[in-house]
Amino acid sequence: MNKKLKITVASGSLILIAWFSNFVNYDPAIFNYSMILATIIAGYEVARKAYYTLKMKVVSINLLVTIAAIGAVIIGEYWEAAAVTFLFTFGDYLQIRTMNKTRNAIKGLMDLAPKTANIIREGKEIEIAAEDVKKGETVVVRPGEKIPVDGKISEGKSEVNQASITGEAIPVSKQKDDEVYSGTINETGYLEIEAEKVGEDTTFAKIIELVEEAQEKKAPTQALLERFSKYYTPGIILLAVITYLITRDTRLALTLLVIGCPGALVISTPVSVVAGIGNAAKNGVLIKGGEHLEKAGKIDLVAFDKTGTLTEGKPVVTDLIAWEVKEAELLKLAASVEKSSEHHLANAIIDKADDDYYEIENFNSVTGAGVIATLNEEQILVGNDKLMRDYNINISEKMRSEKTKFEQKGKTVVYLVQGEKVLGLIAISDKAREDAREVVNNLKNIGVKKVVMLTGDNSEIAKSIADDLNIDEFQAELLPAEKVKVIEQYQKQGYTVAMVGDGINDSPSLATADIGIAMGAAGTDVAIDTADITLMADKISKIPFAIGLSMATTNNIKQNIVFAVTVVFALLAGVLGKFVFLASGMLVHEVSVLLVIFNAMRLLRYKQKSGGKNYA
């Protein structure tokens, strides 16, 4: 039994003894002494906190209760003194218990943290503490065990439950060379894992750390209310003093002190923020603090990057047109240049080609245009219209016509030029995600006014994707810096903008938007650190959930504030009307605090339902 509960039980027992003695007509002194003792037991900790906060020049709720209790004892209202301190202490105990429930999502995450690990050292398998595993060591994980490190599978295959990281309960098939994360559960097979991130560096440890930090960061509304209460509480004391000087009614003045406590108002925002962030974390969405949670609840424009966000991010070569060489030679030339590139389209060309490459020199990447290199002292260009214009390459009408046909089908087209001669073109397709259209519609259903797409691809491809996905507006052929300018234009038009990207290539846009949302960040430190909201799974279906939860949290905060203010004014009216007294006022005050907490706890059960689909 914790200390606060013991104090509550002891004080409550003495109050019961006092009333029992009064009921059976024992000596009135028993009633009085029992009530005074109950007041001292329940009020000691309250008075001690009031003293220390007053030393820091803060007038707290504890001080109001202490003054009211002492005043009630002085005027002989022992029952009122005992009731006020008991109800305040009991309410505080219940408040702590219910607040802890709002943190259950975080406690659940921490409980999932693996405590031990089986590793192979000097040819033997030994069990050690998970935090003692060293980078590069081989970790053995059997069916049903938690994976204690981030790493790569070196032996075995299995189904791994990654719910603690991504929020997705359906196990994912894993085999040799696949990445796995600490805190996930190996469900079926035997695995040997080469440790790459250990201890506090694992993705799971970072998630817990970020969520704990997020719950401590104050939302703007919370900071405003705390500043308000800093002046409000002394104002209540002044009001009580003025009331006493005018009416000479000590009981009325003390009652004003008690019912003026802004407890429900002060707690209205933080309890909602804690519940919202906890629910989000449980579902694989990291929201980095109350400020971002509250701002995300005001989003009315969502801007998507195209490649890897609205599309699958796995482009494949679908068509080749060779004019001066054979198709195999066209591919070999393109792959030889692209193998030094990190662009996603380069992978499609390399995957299509054989592993036979020319030795190229002087490789250079031109942002938003393509790549260039030299082969046998002859320049090779692989890129789009911008690259062709920059290097004054003549593109015939026939070539442009072929290119346009592919683009109208939503395909990206690059030219290959050797010297000044266009050898052919390569068409690459990146399919839209199956649920992309549904996500766009769900965003509109929850109140987002506009969904836009920002892409470096040309207008024909952008239009094809936008039409297919019911996107309101698109901007094409944008360089990263130009995406930033577009977002700033939307902000000047009055929109609260969320930008969705991968957290690396789109980091300038994510930083400029009111809210940056990074996708598929599991294992990616840069993505986790860059964005305001991080989706651990590579699933855009989490975006309506994240924004919807933020909107629900913002509404919840407003409900709590309106309720708390209404209760305070109702109690004031009750005191002045002489039908709310010291004990009943404290009871209503404590009940109002608990109701605010219970209202916030509803956010723990939030699930976005739209179009018959749950986003949770």
Among candidate residues 262, 258, 259, 252, the one with its CA nearest the CA of residue 231: 262
Q: How confident is the model at residue 37 (pLDDT cuts 50, 70, 90)?
A: very high
Q: Where are the alpha helices (DSSP H) in 156-219?
A: 163-166, 203-216
Residue 470, both tokens: 């019911």
Find the DSSP H helices in 248-343: 250-259, 263-282, 290-296, 327-338
CA distances from 41 to 5, 64, 82 (A): 12, 17, 9
pLDDT for 302 equals 95
Helix (H, G, I), strand (E, B) or coil at 520: coil
Q: How far is CA 116 from CA 161, 187, 272, in A?
A: 18, 17, 35
Answer yes or no: are the C-beta atoms of 148 and 117 closer than 8 Å: yes
69 φ, ψ (degrees, to nearest 5):
-65, -45
Distances (CA, A) of 197 to 125, 206, 236, 317, 532: 20, 11, 55, 35, 23
pLDDT tens per residue across span 400-452: 898 888 888 878 889 999 988 889 999 988 888 888 999 999 999 999 999 99
Checking if the pLDDT of 215 tops 80, the result is no
Please indicate whether residue 305 is annotated as part of the active site: yes
Choosing from 305, 430, 514, 532, the catalytic residue is 305
Q: Which of 336, 337, 393 is nearest to 365 (CA)?
A: 337
113-209 shares its CATH topology with 283-310+433-547? no
* CA atoms of 540 and 347, how far apart (whole Å): 23
Assign domain 113-209 one CATH number from 3.40.309.10, 3.60.150.10, 3.90.230.10, 2.70.150.10: 2.70.150.10
Interhelix angle for 542-576 vs 436-445, to 10°? 20
- Report pLDDT digits (tens) over 389-411: 888 888 888 888 988 888 888 78
- Whole-Å CA distances, 226 to 47, 51, 80, 518: 21, 19, 29, 32
Over residues 321-361, the pLDDT tens digits come to 988 888 888 888 888 888 888 777 788 888 888 778 888 88
Q: Is residue 548 a contact partner of residue 287, using CB atoms and an 8 Å limit? A: no
Rounded to the nearest integer, the mean pLDDT of the chain is 81
pLDDT-based confidence at residue 589 (cuts at 50, 70, 90): confident
pLDDT of residue 473: 93
Interatomic CA distance for residues 68 and 528, integer angstroms? 50
> According to CATH, what is the number of the domain 316-429?
3.40.1110.10
Examine the pLDDT at 612 and tell me if it is beyond 70: no
Q: Taking the domains of the chain in order of start, what are their residue ranges?
A: 1-102, 113-209, 283-310+433-547, 316-429
Q: Kindly tell me if the per-residue pLDDT of 601 is higher than 60.
A: yes
pLDDT, mean of residues 144-153: 89
For the chain, what percent of residues have pLDDT higher than 90?
A: 13
Fold of 283-310+433-547: Rossmann fold (3.40.50)
CA dihedral 592, 593, 596, 597 (to 10 degrees): -140
pLDDT at 202 over 90: no
Both tokens of 244, joined, read 């006493």
Element (H, E) at 390: helix 385-390
Residue 614 is predicted with a pLDDT of 41
In this predicted structure, the answer to whether residue 610 has a pLDDT above a threshold of 50 is: no
